Structures are given as C-alpha cells and as structure tokens.
Structure 1
Amino acid sequence: MTETLDLIVIGAGMAGINAAKKCSKAGWSVAIVDELPYGGTCALRGCDPKKMLRAGAEAVDAARLLAGKGVAGETRIDWPALMKHKESFTDPVPENMEEGLRQAGVRCLHGAARFTAEDRIEIEGHGGIAFRHALIATGAKPRPLDFPGADRLIDSTDFLNLAELPQRIAFVGGGYISFEFAHIAARAGAEVTILDHGARQLKAFDPDLVDMLLARSRAAGIKIVAGATPERIEAAGEGHLVTYSQNGSPRQIEADLVVHGAGRVPAVDGLDLKAAGIETGQGGVKVTPWLQSTSNSRIFAAGDAAASPGKPLTPVAVFEGRIAASNMLKGKRTEPDYTGVPSVVFTIPELARVGMLEEEARETGEVNVSFTDTSGWFSQKRLNETNAGARIISAKDGKILGAHIFGPDYAELINVFSLAIKLGLTVDQIRAMPAAYPTGASDIRSML
C-alpha cells in the first residue's frame, strides 16, 4: 500500500528546510528529499563558501592597500589552506541540517524524485509516496550553454571546490558569479578575464557605481571584455582556447580554466512535472501570488524554483518557504512582501542596492536624488580605498525609494536602507538616527 504524507518537500535548501520544519511542528507528517547533500546552494555551493574564500582575498587586498602606510611584507593566499578554512564551515552543514530536521520530526530522504501523478511521487531507493501537498524548492542550476566545447566549462560548485587555483582563468558571463569569483581569484594571484556578452555589466545595479566597480576590478588586475559572444572552446595543450566574437570579429584567449558565470535557471527539469499537471514558465513553476501552483492546487513552490516576483536570493527563499508552509497549513492566500529586499555583489569593495533604480523611481513621479562620491571620506581614507560612492533616491514626501552604494563594508550598510524602505522611513527620520562614530553608519547622514 502506498504511503501517504501530508507534505513532501523536494529540495533541502533554505526554502524547503524552513517549510518542512514549520509544517512538521504543526503536526503534519512531513518528508523532505534531495539528491544532493542537505543545505542547498547558499550554505554549500554559493553564498557562504564564497564569503569564506573572500575572507582571504579581503585580507590580501587590505594589506596591499596599506603597503607603505604601516603594513609591510608580502601577504599572499595559500589556496589549499584557504579551501580547508572554507570546508571547516561547509563540511558539517549536511549532517547538522539533517539533525535539525529529524529533531523537528521531519523524515529525511535521499535520491532523485519525480512525479508520477498529480498526488504521487517516486523517490529513488524509496518507492512511491502519495501526498496531500508537495512543495517544490529545488533551487537553480547553471544555465545551459549551446556552443561547441561548452562542456569544458566548470560551474560555480566546481570553482568553490578547486584543490589548486590555476594561473589563467576566464569567466563566461558578466554577472554576480563572475565578478565575485574574479575578485577572489585575482587577489590569489591568477590572471583573470571576464567575457561578457552584453555591453553593460551588472545591469540590475546603479550604472555609475558599476563603473566604479569596473575601475576597481581593472585596478585589481581583472580584464573585462564587453560584447564578447563565446563561439567555441577547444583544447590548447593542457588548457583551453576560447574563441569569441566581438564587434563582428573573432578573437581568442587561452585559459587554464573556464568558468560558467552566465546565469542560472530553475532546477526542475528532472521532476517530470507534466505527470502531475504542473505548469512551468521561464522562471520555474507557475504560481499564484500566494505561491500555489496555477494548475495543481496540491502543489506549492518557493525560492528559485518558483516563477514568483521574488529575486533569486536566500532571504527571499526563506520567507517564501515559510509563507508557502503557512498557506498550506491554514488554507490561506497570504502573499509574500518583497519590499526592502537588498541585493549585494560581494566584490572587493562590495556593490549593494535596495529598492528602485533612479530610472524606475522617476517613472513614479517627482523624486529627489543624491549622488555622492565617497572615495575621499574617512571611512575609505583609513583603509586607503580609492573607489566608493552612494546614490540615494527619495520621494517628494521624503520616503526612501532606493539606495545604491559601493564601498568597503557597504553590504552591512545597505541593511539600514532596507529597514528604512520596509518601514517607510523618511530622509529626516534616518538623519535623526544617532550612529556610533566613526562607523560606516555614521556616514549615512551625509549620503542623504
């Protein structure tokens, strides 16, 4: 007889784990399944391990900026040792995640999953399971690339597990992954090139601040090639020869390693969604504003696997998972609030935004815009940092509509603006905040 569960969660990342725990604690029978180690992209193959490696790059960059200003001697990255530092965080994650789920009463399963009917799923090694509800939270995977030799690229997971760092690295694509990894690799001594198909990089961020980032990237030794369309990758000795077109002309670059940084897509291909009557679109599972499948009411989706308005960010996956769980439990139609979700490119320094871009804000009516080059401020001077800036956008009534900042530790600073947008605070209210001095937050008054 086929087992029946109240909820089966597919994907043991942040969205799935939070939803599974919430429903189990409410008394539901819940199982979670993943064919990969528990923890998801952020904890194991993305955000967290990336920042562990970035710590070494930050230390090297800080020492180089202050060379001759009180810091002496060579500082370099020992890549294998830095990788072990990263593994000190990532290695315990799967077991810790599973233990937390088990303590919450969730059954933990391993293996590939696929739907066999609108209310049934087959799990490799476990057989068939019937369910009242299912949550698809399988995250995203690298976008398939269609040119000869594309199989020679490694993805972000592979990069974060490199035993040794090659000397020459090319990144295909000009988004988050390429820039963040390029900044790490360059500080570790690699010759780095970013090949971006577009004329402008990091389009979701303020263009003036992106220009500052590009200048800082080039100063760190990163070569950025815009308008570069990959044509093919082939063997060249022990490395690779990348052929790309630029302005209609073929060009080539040799690299020891070529990394996929050309975007990600929902990881739902292997689930046989048609068997359950689940409709999909370019952004993943088609869902209502309350995260329920538009074609199968038993199914919900959250995080990168859902075609929701939310950005592909960990905080979004977390609260979408919780809201999907709440809607399943209570039979409600609560919609996620995406207001004030910040986004950061963890380069060195980091580029951050929350809210609207200036061009978006101007479409809403009259706005006030304050752009400040903060490169010469004390917060940068003490580090000998050369590039930093801020653009703050507010409505006529003073409420913050958007904040865009580039500088050291500005990833922390963006959270103040995130809170301001979430709570509808005005410029005057933020100015009234007594910040500790001297800190980055004490600079906010002068940015407004």
Structure 2
Amino acid sequence: MAHYDLIVIGSGTAAQVAIGQVRAAGWSVAVIDHRPFGGTCALRGCDPKKMLVSGEEAIDAAARMAGHGVGGDLAIDWPSLMAFKRSFTDPVPAKQERRYAKLGVDAFHGLARFASPDAVAVDGRTLQAQHILIATGAGPIPLGIPGEELVSTSDAFLELETLPRRIVLIGGGYVAAEFSHLAARAGAEVTILQRASRLLPHFDPDLVGWLTPRFTALGIRIETGTAVTRVERNGDGLQVRASRQGAPDLEVACDLVIHAAGRRPDLGSLDLSTGQVAVQDGRLQLDAHLRSISNPRVYAAGDAAGVGPPLTPVSSHDAKIVAANLLQGPSREPDYRGVPSVAFTVPPIAAVGLSEEAARRSGLKFRVNAASTPDWFTARRLAEPVYGHKVLIDERTDLVLGAHLVGPNADEVINLFGLAIRHGLTAADLRSTMFAYPTGASDIGYML
C-alpha cells in the first residue's frame, strides 16, 4: 500500500495551492480527481465564464456607442466564442498533469472514497496518508422535482456548441444573472424563474433595482416568487411548470433548462462515515482550523469546507491556512474580512463587507452614502445608463463597513474597498488617496 504525507481529493484552486506549499516543504503528496485536473474555476466556472463575457462586453459596448461615433452591426458568433473559451480551458488539464509531474506529485484519475480513517481508495488501489485534504468543490443542490433529470447544469451551458433559442434558468442568483445576460445578448429568449422575492438576493436591493432595467432591455423575463414544480418533455422541447405566490401557475416552453438554484459541498461519493469524518446537514463538521472535529487527520478547504464565501480567492486562502496548519501545527484560522463578491452581468454588480440590513441589525452607528449616478463621467463616457453606489461608514471610527457598486468598473473598484475593510483604512484615508484620473477608482472620493 502506497503511503503519503498528504492525499488531496480534488484538483481545483484549493488543491493546487495546498499541494504547492506542502511539496515545497518536502512532503510526499498524491492528488485524486475523477474529472479533468484543474477544478471548477479554471474549467467549469470563473475563467471560462469570463472568457464568454468578453464577447458580450464587446456587443454591449457597440450597442451603447451606436450613434455616438460607432456604427455597424455586431453579433455574437456562439461557436467562435466557445472556441475562444476552449483556447484557455482545453490546455488546463495537461498543464496540471505536467505541473504534478514536475513537483513529484502522484496523480490519480478516479472517484475517491475513504477506505478507513487514514486511507483513500481510488481505481482499485488503496492509498494511505498521514493527512487528507478534502477539496472537492461544490455541486448543484438537488431540486427534488419530477423531471429533474431533464435539467442541465451550468457546466453543460459552458460547453454548448450551439445556443438554444429558448432558455429557462431555475434560480435568480449569480449564475442566473450572468448566464441570462450572456444568452440574451447572443440571441436567445431567456426566462428566469426565481423562488425568492427578488433577483440577486445576495446584493443590495437598491442596486439590484438600478440594474434590473438592463435585464428588461435585453428582453429577459424575470418571474420572482416562483417555484418550479415539474419539467417535462414537450415534443422536441421542454415544458417547465411552476407555482407562483398569489398568481396562477406558470408554464414556460423552452429548449434548455439550466439549474441555477444554488450549490452545496460535493461530498456524496466520499463515504465519509468510513473515514470517521463528521458531517451534518450535508456539511463537514470542522473546527476553527478547518480540521475535521472527528478525524484530526482530515482537513477541508474551499467550497467543500463550506465555511467562507464560495469564491475562488477563499479557496486559495483556505488552502494556505490548511498548509500552514499541516506544516506548523493547527494554530491558524481563516480570515474572511473584506472578501469582494461580483456578479459579472454587463455591467457588473459588486459588494464587500456588511450589507445595510446587516449593519442595522448589528446596532452600529453608521452613515450611508448612496446614489444612482449615470451622469458621472465614468458612465457618461461609456453611454452606460446604470451606475451607482452605496457605501456604509462607521460614525465612530470612520472605517468602511461595506461597499456596494453597480456599473462600469464595479468589478475592479470593489477591490479597493475590500482592501480598506481588510486592512483598516478609513474613509479619510481613501479620500486622501490620489487615484489616476479619469478612472473608475477616481470616483471613490465622491462615494464617501
């Protein structure tokens, strides 16, 4: 039986960071994944999605500037855009294989499961380890409805060779917002069926309200307070049935249904009970050091840990914490202060720190600077009708408690507010900073 200092289950961001750090310390490592090496972000999430967004950004820019010095018709060529995406994603698994070989990491393809508290079985072999890191990411939450097998995942959407004419998205969060913008700009008829009372519930409601007209202008149909009850075949297409609060039931005909109703840690195939790894309500039971409370050999990081926000930078941060605890003893704890979050609609919407509602619940005394500002130069020069901000500042300390942005450059400028929150910069510190002008960052002083 092969023995390792560390076995890593999964090959995404958390796995890659942890492997690099423990190998640098001389540990023997094995990595296991039943999918192509590279993980969700590089292959099925952030990076390929953003490659596709580049296409719609170009289309949207041309549409906004029509009549302002730009002429001619542009359209998304979906197969070519997908080929552009694959120019990044296709080489990733082989690059990872080469990296593991260069580092001296043993790489295994197959579905991993615990064979004992200190061993993992894969592809007919059993590997023993001093420590095991669960970095399996997340998967779609089961919908629990008839016809669920007819519903495609976000993974499948990112591999579509041709774009269906009619698309229904179940859910109204990040994935639904991003994919609806992309698909609509590429020519599809898009419907969002959202169980919650509003779209993008993780973002400030005022800013979502400012962004919503962009959905409407694209012809995207949004049905909130709507619970999908069944999906069934209808000739060559599909029929989605849903119930609505205080309204008649809804039926939508389409060619593709996408699951965008949330994700949870992907743990189902691991046989955690054999590994004596405690789990409750589908989540690993971890201590403050990201270590299993029931099996101290086992750690978790990223979406599989389910502790911090489900974002790629959190996966990287978790992995560094786990690596330090493995190498130096369990003393480090993750710190999720000032982690920005972005929905890459066009334009994007972004947030960091406390929401206004959470700040009020906390009892803090703070001032709110909020405005819809499409007349500011940053928006005017791009002919962008959506631009606005909401910034929360502690009255006593002058610290930034939260920042919420929508419009051009929101995905970049939010990082400066994240820097302020994480490192204790005050509103006065930000106001006294001289940013390059005219840039999105140069608006920060006016947002405070």
Give TM-score, length-normalised by structure 2: 0.98
- Matched residue, 1:321: 319
Determine if contact 2:173/2:202 at 8 Å carries over to the other structure: no
Give 1:173-252 correspondences, 5 Å limit: 173-247=171-245, 249-252=248-251
Q: Distance in 2 between matches of 1:209 and 1:441?
A: 18
2:402 maps to: 402
1:144 aligned residue: 142
Q: Which residue pairs with 1:267 in the alignment?
A: 266
Mapped to 2, the partners of 1:282 and 1:137 lie a distance apart of 18
Cα offset for 1:364?
A: 3.7
User: 1:23-78 deviations in whole A, cap 9, x for unaligned?
Assistant: 11101111111001111100000000000001111111111111111111111000
| CA shift for structure 1 position 5 | 0.9
CA distance in 2, matches of 1:432, 1:342: 22
* 3-state SS of 2:269 partner: helix
Match of 1:284?
283
Aligned pair 1:420/2:420, yes or no? yes
Query: Which amino acid counterpart does residue 429 of structure 1 have in structure 2?
Result: D
Alignment of 1:24-103 (within 5 A): 24-103=23-102
**What one-letter code is carried by the residue in structure 2 that aligns with 1:82?**
L
Q: Which amino acid in structure 2 is aligned with residue 178 of structure 1?
A: A
- Percent same amino acid among aligned pairs? 49
Shift in Å, 1:102: 2.3
Q: Tell me the distance in 1 between the aligned counterparts of 2:73 and 2:280.
A: 52
Q: Deviations over 1:340-386 (max 9, x none)?
A: 11000000110000000012122242101100212111111111111
Task: Tell me the distance in 1 between the aligned counterparts of 2:112 and 2:23.
Answer: 20
- Displacement of 1:283 in angstroms is 5.8
1:269 alignment partner, SS class: coil
Distance in 1, matches of 2:282 and 2:58, equals 38
Counterparts of 2:329 and 2:282, CA distance in 1: 25
| Structure 2 SS opposite 1:199 | coil
CA distance in 2, matches of 1:14, 1:107: 17
Maintained 8 Å contact 1:4/1:129: yes
**Secondary structure of the structure 2 residue equivalent to 1:318:** helix
Corresponding residue number in structure 1 for 2:347? 349
C-alpha distance 33-98 of structure 1, shift in aligned 2 (>3 A): same
- Does the CA-based 8 Å contact 1:287-1:307 persist in structure 2? no
Inter-partner Cα distance in structure 1 for 2:314 and 2:63: 36
- Between 257-266 and 90-99, report the one with greater CA deviation: 90-99
| Aligned-residue RMSD, C-alpha | 1.0
Deviations 1:114-143 (A, max 9, x none): 101111111114x01111100000000111
- Counterpart CA distance in 1 for 2:155 and 2:281 is 23
Q: Which amino acid aligns with 2:39?
A: G
The letter of the residue matching 2:27 is: W
User: For residues 174 and 403 of structure 1, what CA distance do their matches in structure 2 show?
Assistant: 22
| Residues in 2 aligned to 1:144 and 1:75: alpha-carbon distance in whole angstroms | 39
Change (3 A) 1:213 1:282: farther
Runs of 5+ unmatched residues, structure 1: none
Q: Is the 8 A contact 1:282 1:307 kept in 2?
A: no
Point out where structure 2 has 5 or more consecutive residues left out of the alignment. Answer: none
Distance 2:306 2:117 in 1: 19
Q: Which amino acid aligns with 1:265?
A: R
**Where in structure 1 do 4 or more consecutive aligned residues deviate above 4 Å?**
none
- Which residue is equivalent to 2:157? 159
* Count of aligned positions: 445
Distance 1:431 1:283, change over 3 A: farther
Residues of 1 paired with 2:373 and 2:277: CA distance? Answer: 50
**1:254 partnered with 2:253:** yes
Cα contact 2:226–2:242 (8 A) shared by 1: yes
8 Å contact kept, 2:431–2:445: yes
Distance 1:8 1:266, change over 3 A: same
Q: 2: distance between equivalents of 1:106 and 1:142?
A: 30
Task: Tell me, yes or no, if the aligned pair for 1:135 and 1:299 is still in contact at 8 Å.
Answer: yes
1:133 pairs with one of 131, 137, 143: 131
Equivalent position of 2:430 in the other structure? 430
Please list the CA deviations of residues 194-215 of structure 1 after superposition, one character each: whole Å capped at 9, or x if unmatched. Answer: 0001112222211100111222
CA shift, 1:104, in A, is: 2.1
In structure 2, the residue matched to 1:331 is 329
Q: Distance in 2 between matches of 1:307 and 1:154?
A: 24
Contact map agreement 1:283 1:305 (CA 8 A) in 2: no
Aligned counterpart, 1:115: 114
Determine the C-alpha separation between the residues in 2 that align with 1:284 and 1:111: 23
Letter in 2 for 1:284: R
Aligned-partner Cα distance in 2 for 1:274–1:36: 23
Matching residue's letter, 1:75: L
- The separation in 1 between residues aligned to 2:300 and 2:389, in whole angstroms, is 36
How much has 1:281 moved relative to structure 2?
A: 2.6
**What is the alpha-carbon distance in structure 2 between the residues aligned to residue 288 and residue 105 of structure 1?**
31
Q: Distance in 2 between matches of 1:435 and 1:331?
A: 42
CA-CA distance at 1:265 after TM superposition: 1.1
Contact kept? 1:197, 1:227, Cα under 8 Å: yes
Q: How does 1:373-384 map to 2 (within 5 A)?
A: 373-384=372-383
- 8 Å CA contact 2:32–2:107 kept in 1: the answer is yes
Q: Please give the alpha-carbon distance, in whole angstroms, between the structure 2 residues aligned to 1:364 and 1:17.
A: 41
* Distance in structure 1 (CA, Å) of the matches to 2:437 and 2:61: 21
| Matches of 1:280 and 1:364, distance apart in 2 | 34
Partners of 1:141 and 1:32 lie apart in 2 by 20
